[in-house]
Homo-oligomer: A and B are copies of this chain.
Amino acid sequence: MTVDAQDALQALRGFGIELPSWAFGNSGTRFKVFPQPGVPRDPFEKISDAAQVNRHTGAAPRVSLHIPWDLVDDFGKLVAHAADEGVAIGAINSNTFQDEDYKLGSLTHADPRVRAKAVAHHVQCIDVMRATGSRDLKIWLPDGLNYAGQDDIRDRQERLADSLREIYAALDAEHRILLEYKIFEPHFYTMDIPDWGTSLLHCLDLGPQATVVLDTGHHAPSTNIEFIVAQLLRVGRLGAFDFNSRYYADDDLIVGSADPFQLFRIMNEIVRADALRPDSGVNFMLDQCHNIEEKIPAQIRSVLNVQEATAKALLVDRAALRAAQQAGDVLAAHAVLMDAYNTDVRAPLADLRESQGLPRDPAAAYRASGYAAKIAAERVGGAQAGWGA
Contacts and interface: CB of A to CB of B under 8 A. Distances in A.
A338 B260 CA distance: 10
Interface stretch (A11-19, A62-70, A223-231, A351-359): A223-231
B258 A185 contact: no
Given A103-B292, A147-B293, A265-B148, A31 B330 contact: no
B198 A222 contact: no
A377 interface: no
A223 B226 contact: no
Interface in A108-156: 110-111, 142, 146-154
A110 B98 CA distance: 37
A194 interface: yes
Contacts of A344: 342-344
A234 interface: yes
Interface stretch (A40-48, A276-284, A321-329): A321-329
A306 interface: no
Main secondary structure of the interface of A (DSSP, over half): loop
Nearest to A111: B328
Copies in the complex: 4
Interface in A344-364: 344, 346, 363
B222 A247 contact: yes
Interface in A334-389: 334-338, 341-344, 346, 363, 387
Contacts of A85: none
Interface string A271-314: 01100000000000000000111100110010000001000000
A197 interface: yes
A170 interface: no
A254 B338 CA distance: 13
Q: Which 7 A-B pairs rank lowest in CB-CB distance, beginning with the nearest?
A: A197-B197, A149-B337, A220-B220, A188-B251, A221-B221, A344-B344, A29-B186
